[in-house]
Amino acid sequence: MSIPFYDFPSSPILIIGALGIAVAIAVFFVSYQKYFNSPLNKELAAKKKALIREQKELSERLEKIEQDLKNL
């Protein structure tokens, strides 16, 4: 009893198609990374502003707590 196996065809169209898929995946990955790390990304800029505002508020609260502790 012999085990059947699949012989991968060496058609140039299949090779070109596989390379095309690989290139498409690479382009998608690179463009996705570049977009989300871009300084022109409005969502990232808004998130950064919100985090900076929150950091200022927290530092003000911390200063107030430190003053209250000194006054005890």
In the chain, where does DSSP find H-type helix? Answer: 12-36, 42-71
30: in domain: yes
38: in domain: yes
59: in domain: yes
Measure the CA–CA gap between 60 and 62, rounded to whole angstroms: 5
1: in domain: no
Q: Which two tokens stand for residue 20?
A: 């095309």
Q: For residue 67, what are the domain limits?
A: 12-71
- Distance of CA 31 to CAs 1, 9, 40, 42, 54, Å? 51, 32, 14, 16, 31
Domain count, the chain: 1
Residue-level pLDDT at 61: 95
If the chain, 72 residues long, is cut into consecutive pieces of 10 residues, what is the mean pLDDT of each piece?
A: 76 89 96 83 88 96 93 86
Residue-level pLDDT at 40: 80
Measure the CA–CA gap between 45 and 27, rounded to whole angstroms: 24
Residue-level pLDDT at 25: 97
17: in domain: yes
